[in-house]
Structure 1
Amino acid sequence: MTHYPFTAVVGADDLSLALILITVSPSIGGVLVRGEKGTAKSTIVRGLVDLLPPHAVVEGCRFACEPGNPDPTCPDGPHGTTDAATSRPARLVELPVGATEDRVIGSLDLGKALGSGEAAFQPGLLADAHRGILYVDEVNLLHDHLVDLLLDAAAMGRNTVERDGVSISHAARLVLVGTMNPEEGELRPQLLDRFGLTVEVAASRDPLLRAEVVRRRLAFDADPVGFAEGYAAAQRDLADRVAAARTAVGHVELSDRSLATIARVCAGFEVDGMRADIVTARAAMAHAAWHGRPSVTREDIRVAAIFALPHRRRRNPFDAPGLDEDLLDRLLGDEPDDPGPDGDPEGRTHDVDGDADPVPDPGAAAPAGTQDQPQDDGSREPEPSRAADGSPQTPESRDEAANPVPDSEAPAVVPVGVAAAGTPFRARAFTLTGLGTGESGRRSRAVTATGHTIGSSTTGRGRLHLPATITEAARHRGTRGAAYGRLVLLPGDLRTAVTQGQESNLVLLAVDASGSMGARRRMEEVKTAVLSLLLDAYQRRDRVGLVTFRGQGAEVALHPTSSVEAAARSLTTLAHGGRTPLAEGLLMATKVLAREKLRDPKRRPLLVVVTDGRATAGPDALDRSRTIADAWGRTGHQSVVIDAETGTFRLGLAADLAARMGATHVPLGEVAAGAIVESVTTAREAWRAGRGGRAA
């Protein structure tokens, strides 16, 4: 298969450099590539394999043992010094998002087990990637049980399998490269820390550069072989330079002064643990070797820190990733380094081909993630809403529900405000009742591909349940004419394990954003509570959606997604004001859940309605909302109603709504200081006792 040449990719200078650094020094620990779709993330990673030098392996060893230094516990060993050696190209092994656990770590060879009765081991992808690169596209969508396996292998450098009568351990030293689109959800912090470097990429906004990207891609698609031959010389030159840097990196000097600078930078960014210091040091040495320098300079440390620290600095789950380069420069200090090999005191050589500070031209690629475009980090105040005549509205809204005005007398312009949310608090876990079958997650009980074994099945899906298989075959031992007492296994005896773990759920938030919610700072309290629920969903890898209703209708502010950061941004800019179309909000939520049920039938939903229960938009508004609530109650879906009504005199409309929906009622006064999660836990207990609703 002909890969798109690595040297033919334009517009991804930072990504190219990061990938080259891990080829120069694999001990850095891999690269995580974050960026929007269509930015050549997968293309450039797959092209990297052509730059890697071949390596020697023991002939016939399925685990790629190194001649002269074989793994003493290799399942194909022991290997001696006289074993024949051969050379093979470096491997880039792709791990599909939907791979099974057996395919990743290896499993019992069923062919030999059923044919000759031999308990032989079939190597998995971790064995194939030993001394090479393991590439995971859309790594943020990888199932949690596979993430756990990668964490173990990355931490120990070994893969250990203890299952189905097989006890195997083999070396699994690999470079992990992952690509992801942050819009589809974030990565677990434990796995994030295992990537040595991280790079943010974005498509260039330069028309000339974009045109060049299209021109090259069309040429490659028309004639892949001919296109690759056109870059063969550049590929050879780059591969030779990589090989030379791999040889030189072990001789690069890391002075005490440079080491102290690295420690100062890592401490200044308040990173956790010591892995950041180690990775930064290794990356700085690789960068120096790549540019032919005998010792690490200030610029080497700067480049290494930009790649190694953004995903390790302390930040809240909803904070935008990145690194404050002004702070980095202050931590590095202003003392110039010794001149580099080209006479540049800074040794500035970000480009791949080694030219220092090249003169920019229209076709040159802008560094990934630095295009001239506004970045929304959530710190800017939202612009005030404006009336039809262009005049700004006041940020305070009136409580229109306290004294509802007939439609015929309603003002032409409704005051609109935007309330700021407070600091979210940590929510205790809440779960749905029953046993689901949805995607693996960290919330509700479910039958999943991983977990503790609770039984066996004849469906043939999942890993082999060896004891159950043998037991079934033993039941027919006397009728199969087994010779010499040998157990005869037939295909019908096969049993697979049924395991129970945890699933992720769909949490749909339906938020009342009418004018009545803006009174007495209620909207600020509501946003704080909802942000807390989003934080919990982030940690448990749920899908979240947001429906808002105010004025005369409802809208889907955010379609269900795994990116809770997007939900948090939508909530932050949510305006409030106008009447309360409660019936429309409930109908919209019902439609969203019905649509998601068709897309993902196994994912169970939880509806959280945040309202004071008033319904003031349209004729018979209250009766319509009650009719819809009664219909929801008959579905049996689990839900929570957070009552935003406050004050001395209360109508109790939200409590009535909760009773009709079969939902748990949570007063707004219990939202602050974690009371919302106390009520959700109470709701779970009520569901289990059969008092607060019916299981989905």
Structure 2
Amino acid sequence: MDDLRLALLLNAVSPQVGGVLVRGEKGTAKSTMVRALAGLLPAIRVVSGCRFACDPASPDPQCPDGPHPVEAAAVSERATSLVELPVGVSEDRIVGSLDLERALAEGVKAYEPGLLAAAHRGVLYIDEVNLLHDHLVDLLLDAAAMGRSYVEREGVSVRHAARFLLVGTMNPEEGELRPQLLDRFGLTVEIAATREPEQRAEVVRRRLAYDADPEGFAARWRDEERALAERITAAQALLPQVVLGDAALRQITAVCAAFEVDGLRADIVMARTAVALAAWAGRTRVLAEDVRIAAQLALPHRRRRNPFDAPGLDDEKLDETLQQFAGQEPETDPDTDPEDDPDGDGPHDSGPDGPDGPDNGGGGGGGQDAPSEPESPAEAASDSPSDAGSAGEPGQAQPQQSPSAPAPREAAPVAADQPYKTRLFKVPGTGEGVQGRRSRAETDGGHTIRAQRPTGVLQRLHLAATVQAAAPHQRARGRSGRALVLRKDDFRQQVREGREGNLVLFVVDASGSMAARQRMSAVKGAVMSLLMDAYQRRDKIGMISFRGSTADLLLPPTSSVEAGAARLEQLPTGGRTPLAAGLLRAHETLRVERLRDPMRRPLVVLVTDGRATGSRSALDDARRAAGLLAAAGTASVVVDCESGPVRLGLATELAQHLQGPAVALDELRADTVTSLVKTMVGTMQNSKRNSKRNSKQTEAA
């Protein structure tokens, strides 16, 4: 937990660092840590009666409750606010809502502030940020970056200051954030529960002690918390005096270039973090160790090159880059902080932080490896095969484990070919699911296709349709003046059509007929490509494999495409082909999922050569199972993996029973389809030219 604690404190010292994204497994006290931060932040002075927490020293000139004359404004003091954003929050609740009836009828800007206004000059905490809709995350991050919230609706404009410390938590098993959104968080921390029995026992003791006497427990730690709050205030005061030398700045830019991060945001965040680290340690100059810790907090989530790369940093490469661009600074910089040591212990546990030592299992060594310590348990607990390739000691330990592991299962999986851009498969019809990028649906985003009477609270006013509905009745309603006389029945709401995310359920044939090494590599490469397509289109995914005599649900429906890639890499092959069992397992999985998420429409992707073994009626059983899926209205696509000069066409026949298309494995690429279309267009154009040329020659003759 040292990295998380440090990242939160650095943002408290310097909010310009840009917030923290906390990634970790469930039950690791992520939310508890964030909520505890608010109690350590100093109180703020506000303009009395201002709903937007304006600072009396510099009130917002565009504040909707303003203007605030400084000399006449009453000043009050209150604790720093912690605003929690629910997962099911709406856009109106975030940015605030307008009284549209008063705005249209009276021309009054009646604005009700939202959560962004409440979080101004405080902490905005988003639990399970990866489960929020994309447009809401975009809105939050834009406000965090600009420090201002904009509400633009139907010609009414309101804007107010919204500067806050943004903290998000997420469980990667439930889905990932897009790289563009990851980049907007200043720092990221990977945490995992400790595997040390003594530390776990201490956590249980403290929790039981709190449950037995909450007030007494709080009183026991009050002095330590007060000391920590005072240290935050002292670091905030020292921050403007910290000097970022040229040598440290060269190290920062060299590290960002060495790890090939996109853009320059990482350089800026690293610089601000290093300055905050120096202020936290009580120094006025940035050292190389500050740069190293800043890199470990600011770069891991920015170095991902594709959706299946796990966040992480090569410590050996980081040290080499820092040494290469060190210059003379490490030799000439004095040790101005007696509690700072070369191993970086000072920024974690020096000064008033000492009382938190028991959290680290006792002793001062808990802070020594704080920048890198949380990475090791995260790597040990991860299912992703990419974690095994991390540099440093965890990667070196892998060869020692492989000789003792059972050879048959480790040798069975075949590596996937390189992924590629695939064709787009859609669910027919128009759905009403969550926003995504695959199938047509009526969603909150997209373009307006019609207007209708609202069935509940009016959310998206259709102005033209509302005016048209009210206009014929103005004389009967005794209209006088310019304002329209509106009734509740006049209001019309926009119906927008956009794209939705679907549940893509992969049903993969892993039997002996698919086990040829090159063939299975191509199959895995195709499924990996479809997984990447699902990630980009914001789908949930699931994975079923069938081989031998049974079908296994390798991955229950989830938003974590990274977990799907890990399961696919470890997929063994061999045995018979229980095709019917795989289809029946898919039918049952979707039946259960419809109860959990009824609005999300499924798409079954069956990857097979169509052969079924196990009994004489195996193929008939598979056809009947396919009929069950079709009868339930499940959209399906069959990826035909049959190869060789003699083809039976069983997969194509199975697709007919599923009432879906069949696509050959070598036709799955999007560029193959594009090339085919270009070839067809070119052939048609050449044919037309030849026809015209022949006609001219005939006329001339």
Q: Does the alignment reach a TM-score above 0.5?
A: yes
Q: Is the CA contact 2:459–2:493 (under 8 Å) kept in the aligned structure 1?
A: yes
1:536 is aligned, of 509, 533, 536, to 533
Q: Is the CA contact 2:104–2:483 (under 8 Å) kept in the aligned structure 1?
A: no
1:447 is aligned, of 442, 449, 458, to 442
Cα shift at 1:60: 2.4
1:570 corresponds to which letter in structure 2?
A: R
Equivalent runs, 1:236-635 vs 2, <5 Å: 236-333=226-323, 335-336=330-331, 337-342=333-338, 346=342, 348-354=345-351, 362-363=361-362, 367-371=373-377, 373=380, 377-379=384-386, 393=408, 417-454=412-449, 455-461=451-457, 463-465=459-461, 467=463, 468-480=465-477, 487-519=484-516, 521-635=518-632
2:7 is aligned, of 18, 37, 51, to 18
2:90 is aligned, of 87, 100, 107, to 100
Cα shift at 1:668: 2.3
Any idea what SS the aligned residue of 2:445 has? Answer: coil
Instruction: Determine the C-alpha separation between the residues in 1 that align with 2:472 and 2:349.
Output: 67
Equivalent runs, 1:45-60 vs 2, <5 Å: 45-60=34-49
Aligned: 1:647 with 2:637: no
Instruction: Determine the C-alpha separation between the residues in 2 that align with 1:662 and 1:633.
Output: 6
Mean alpha-carbon deviation: is it higher for 150-159 or for 500-509? 150-159
Equivalent residue number for residue 408 of structure 1: none
Aligned: 1:40 with 2:29: yes
Distance 1:363 1:447, change over 3 A: same
2:242 corresponds to which letter in structure 1?
A: V
- Per-residue deviation, residues 273-313 of structure 1 (Å, max 9, x unmatched): 11111111111111111110111111111111110110111
Equivalent residue number for residue 125 of structure 1: 115
Q: Is the CA contact 2:602–2:635 (under 8 Å) kept in the aligned structure 1?
A: yes
Distance 1:679 1:319, change over 3 A: farther
Any idea what SS the aligned residue of 1:292 has? Answer: coil
Name the structure where helix makes up a greater proportion of residues. Answer: 2
Cα shift at 1:488: 4.2
Mean alpha-carbon deviation: is it higher for 88-97 or for 486-495? 486-495
Any idea what SS the aligned residue of 1:351 has? Answer: helix
1:459 corresponds to which letter in structure 2?
A: T
Equivalent residue number for residue 72 of structure 2: 83
Distance 1:487 1:246, change over 3 A: same
Instruction: Determine the C-alpha separation between the residues in 1 that align with 2:445 and 2:349.
Output: 43
Any idea what SS the aligned residue of 2:530 has? Answer: helix
Instruction: Determine the C-alpha separation between the residues in 1 that align with 2:234 and 2:568.
Output: 52
Cα shift at 1:72: 2.2
Instruction: Determine the C-alpha separation between the residues in 2 that align with 1:486 and 1:605.
Output: 48
Aligned: 1:207 with 2:214: no
Cα shift at 1:368: 3.5
Instruction: Determine the C-alpha separation between the residues in 2 that align with 1:72 and 1:362.
Output: 50
Distance 1:394 1:443, change over 3 A: closer
Cα shift at 1:579: 1.0
Q: How many residues align?
A: 644
Cα shift at 1:569: 0.7
Cα shift at 1:394: 9.9
Q: Is the CA contact 1:59–1:83 (under 8 Å) kept in the aligned structure 2?
A: no
* Cα RMSD, aligned residues only: 2.9
Quick one: percent identity of the two aligned structures?
56
Mean alpha-carbon deviation: is it higher for 207-216 or for 365-374? 365-374
Cα shift at 1:91: 1.4
1:68 corresponds to which letter in structure 2?
A: A
Distance 1:76 1:679, change over 3 A: farther
Distance 1:465 1:679, change over 3 A: farther
Unaligned 5+ runs, structure 2: 390-397, 678-701
Equivalent residue number for residue 684 of structure 1: none
Distance 1:132 1:678, change over 3 A: farther
Instruction: Determine the C-alpha separation between the residues in 2 that align with 1:77 and 1:89.
Output: 22
Cα shift at 1:675: 4.1
Equivalent residue number for residue 688 of structure 1: none
1:516 corresponds to which letter in structure 2?
A: S
Instruction: Determine the C-alpha separation between the residues in 2 that align with 1:630 and 1:350.
Output: 64
Mean alpha-carbon deviation: is it higher for 338-347 or for 243-252? 338-347
Cα shift at 1:674: 4.9
Instruction: Determine the C-alpha separation between the residues in 1 that align with 2:628 and 2:29.
Output: 48
- Per-residue deviation, residues 601-625 of structure 1 (Å, max 9, x unmatched): 1111111111111111123111211
1:421 corresponds to which letter in structure 2?
A: A
Any idea what SS the aligned residue of 1:243 has? Answer: helix
Mean alpha-carbon deviation: is it higher for 101-110 or for 231-240? 101-110
Distance 1:558 1:359, change over 3 A: closer
1:270 corresponds to which letter in structure 2?
A: E
- Per-residue deviation, residues 556-607 of structure 1 (Å, max 9, x unmatched): 1111111011111111111110111111111111111111112111111111
Equivalent residue number for residue 661 of structure 2: 664
Instruction: Determine the C-alpha separation between the residues in 2 that align with 1:169 and 1:391.
Output: 63
Any idea what SS the aligned residue of 2:557 has? Answer: strand
TM-score by length of structure 2 reads 0.86
Instruction: Determine the C-alpha separation between the residues in 1 that align with 2:563 and 2:673.
Output: 22
Instruction: Determine the C-alpha separation between the residues in 2 that align with 1:177 and 1:57.
Output: 23
Cα shift at 1:157: 2.0
Mean alpha-carbon deviation: is it higher for 214-223 or for 249-258? 214-223
Unaligned 5+ runs, structure 1: 1-11, 396-415, 681-696
Instruction: Determine the C-alpha separation between the residues in 1 that align with 2:625 and 2:611.
Output: 14
Instruction: Determine the C-alpha separation between the residues in 2 that align with 1:227 and 1:678.
Output: 70
Any idea what SS the aligned residue of 1:556 has? Answer: strand
Distance 1:499 1:484, change over 3 A: same
Cα shift at 1:512: 0.7
Cα shift at 1:338: 2.9
Any idea what SS the aligned residue of 1:51 has? Answer: coil
Q: Is the CA contact 2:277–2:347 (under 8 Å) kept in the aligned structure 1?
A: no
Instruction: Determine the C-alpha separation between the residues in 2 that align with 1:114 and 1:352.
Output: 58
- Per-residue deviation, residues 246-286 of structure 1 (Å, max 9, x unmatched): 01011001111111111111111111111111111111111
Instruction: Determine the C-alpha separation between the residues in 1 that align with 2:5 and 2:224.
Output: 14
Cα shift at 1:493: 4.1
Instruction: Determine the C-alpha separation between the residues in 2 that align with 1:609 and 1:679.
Output: 24
TM-score by length of structure 1 reads 0.86
